[in-house]
Structure formats: structure tokens, C-alpha cells
Amino acid sequence: MSPIDSDVVLLNCSDEGQARRLPVHGSRPGGPLAALTAVVLPARPGRSDLDPVLAEHTPRRVVVAGTDADLAAVLLRLLRTERLDVEVAYLPAHRSPATTAWGLPTGKAAAALAVAGTASAVPLVRDDTGGVLVGRGEIRDVRGECYCDETLVLRGQARRLVVAPGPDGIAVRAGWGGRAPDGRMRPVPARAPKGAGSALGRAVQVGCEPAIVVADGVPHPRPVPRRTWYRHTADWLLVRP
């Protein structure tokens, strides 16, 4: 049996009250994960779920097994408890906006990376409600204006406005499809009566008729007339290729 690596903690998040199936040996850690301390948590763990685990184990690295929303919840607790020096690896349930945004593998490759990979500092994207974004923010059927830094991205109406964090900052795209933004600069002319484009920057501000914002697959409980995403002053440490 491999010795337990107490510096790395596997956080197995599940909305079923049971351990989520892992890419190696089902719900029980195996293969490269066998040497890790494993903790089962509810989906989107909060303060009472995660803070005691962090205090008890003081990990150098956490491996989050779950969804983008679970990853965001863990990152939020690291931010709130001033533990952004803890490395974060992601063991996704499947390919997701976060794996695309950060170029992360899935399955057995993700397990191997989580244990043996190297962490690097990447932008931490927050919003004006106190949350964080790790994969995709979306507003559907939006009518209003959107700026990325000083660049006008939307004036008028769009079927979808999509925001994604990434190594270079925050990318945003407004339009009629749901494609993830690619970071290309396609500004709307300042004097145009309407238009939709895309951009990359440090902050995205939206003012619109009340609409539902979805962050990492989780809808806001009520329509809101504005939303801001911005790059935090400190980065987080993500294990990636």
C-alpha cells in the first residue's frame, strides 16, 4: 500500500451524499489517487463543510473531484479564508467549460495531473455578488450594454452574453449563439445604435433589463439589472499542463 500523502487532500464533492465516481476505481481513490487523504463533501461545499477540513489538514494542495460549481465553491472558501497559497487540482466529472477555459484533461489523465502536475498562478475572476467564476458566466436574452474595460461589447439585444476566465484574463462574447469567447477583440463602434462583439480584458460590466445570470451552471435566484466580473488583485494556483 502506498503511504498517505497528507499534504494533498482529495475533496470528493457530490450532490447525492455519497462519494462521486472517480476516473480511477470508481468512487474509491485508486491508481495515482490512492495515496491521498480523501474527504467526501456535499456538492458546492460551503463554509461549514469545507473550512473545518482545511483547518484540520492544512493541505499544500487540494484535488477537487466534481463539477465546475464545486470547483468554484472550493476556490471561494480558499479566497475567504486567505488560503490562495493552496494549490488546486481539478478532477472533473466530464469535459466542462472550466476544462476548456484552462486546457485541463479529464479521466485518468486528470488524475495523473492532479497528483504529479505543477501549479501555476492564474487569474482569479470574481463578481460583484462575492462569488468567483472558474468556467463560464452567461446571461440569456440580454438587452442593454456591456463593456470589457473600455471596449463596448454589446449595445442592444443579444440571445446570449458569455464570459469566460482564462490565463490571459476575462473574455466575453455577445451574440446569438452560445459559443465560448475566444478572446478576440471585436468592439462595437462607440456611436453604433446597436451591435454585438467580443473582447478580452480585466473587467466586464453589464447593465441590462433584469435578467438571470448563470455562473458555472448555477442560476442566480432572481433577475438582476447588472453584473460585473473582474480580475482579483491576487491569483490562484491551478495545477495544469
Q: pLDDT value at position 20?
A: 56
Assess contact for 185 and 153: CB atoms under 8 A: no
pTM: 0.92
Q: Does domain 132-231 have CATH number 2.60.200?
A: yes
Q: How far, in Å, CA of 115 to CA of 126, rounded?
A: 27
Q: pLDDT value at position 5?
A: 58
Q: How far, in Å, CA of 73 to CA of 231, rounded?
A: 17
Q: pLDDT value at position 98?
A: 98
> CATH for 5-117, among 1.20.58, 3.90.550, 3.30.300, 3.40.50?
3.40.50
Q: pLDDT value at position 25?
A: 42
Q: What is the pLDDT along the chain (241 residues), one digit of tens a residue?
A: 344 456 999 999 987 655 555 654 444 555 778 889 999 999 999 999 999 999 999 999 999 999 999 999 999 999 999 999 999 999 998 999 999 999 999 999 999 999 999 999 999 999 999 999 999 999 999 999 999 999 999 999 999 999 999 999 999 999 998 899 999 999 999 999 999 999 999 999 999 999 999 999 999 999 999 999 999 999 999 999 9
Phi first, then psi, for residue 54 (nearest 5°) are: -65, -40
Kind of pairing between the strands at 137-148 and 151-166: antiparallel
Q: Which of 167, 13, 184, 175 is nearest to 100 (CA)?
A: 167
Q: pLDDT value at position 93?
A: 84
Assess contact for 126 and 132: CB atoms under 8 A: yes
Residue 98's alpha-carbon distances to 9, 71, 165, 225, 239, in angstroms, are: 21, 9, 8, 26, 13
Q: pLDDT value at position 34?
A: 84
Domain-wise residue ranges, the chain = 5-117, 132-231
